Amino acid sequence: MPKKKKLWLNNFVSPIIALVLILILLAIILWQKGFILTPKQNDLGLTVLTARNLNADDLKTYQDAVATLQTTPEEKAAALNLGYIYRQQGLYQDAEKAFNYQLQFDELDGEALLGLARVYTDEGKYKDAEDAYYKIIDVYPLYMIAYHELLALYQSGKLPLNDKFITEADYSLQFEGSESYQDELKQLLLDYNLIPKE
């Protein structure tokens, strides 16, 4: 190749490659800052999900839940379904919003609080998760899932065991007519050496 042609090629191609690299870097920075390619928000202020994000069944559940909440805002199952789907997608802020949306209608809804506690755990907000689990246990003293998951949180070392756990468990063991739940709770406490064997 003649020197002139090679020199012209280098002088022309090098600046174009540099410009393309600068544009790519700028696009990445703007994308990270949320200025471009940010997900759309639906009427509820939550991230719009599409068939790219969800399988057919979850997409239908998602679409039905959004449509239901637009016409019947207090529909519990729709808000919970949204929370579950967003959590499954790793969209934790949207999941929090969905569960909190339900809690505005019933601040002591055990399922919404449980969903919120799980999201907080996923996000590493362990103290918030603990608080949500105790809200459940305070209102529903024999809500076994809350005991199991809270104890798992303690056993993982994410939080130190709170003395309130034993206090709440002891209180729950005093209820009459709930023997099967009490047996399960007692066994859970025994398994983790939280109460002495009889």
Q: Given phi > 0 = left and psi -120 to 50 = alpha, else beta, which region is 34?
A: left
**Topology at the third CATH level for domain 109-198:** 1.25.40
Q: Please provide the size of the chain in residues.
A: 198
Cβ 62 vs Cβ 54: under 8 Å: yes
Model-level pTM?
0.75
In tens, the pLDDT along 102-160 reads: 999 999 999 999 999 999 999 999 999 999 999 999 999 889 999 999 999 999 999 99
In tens, the pLDDT along 2-53 reads: 566 565 556 666 777 777 788 777 766 655 554 444 457 777 788 888 887 8
Q: Which residues contact 37 (CB under 8 A, 6 or more apart)?
A: 31
Cβ 140 vs Cβ 133: under 8 Å: no
- DSSP-assigned letter for residue 41: B
> Cα separation of 129 and 135, whole Å?
10
Q: Where are the domains of the chain?
A: 42-107, 109-198
C-alpha distances in angstroms, 6 versus 16, 19, 176?
15, 20, 92
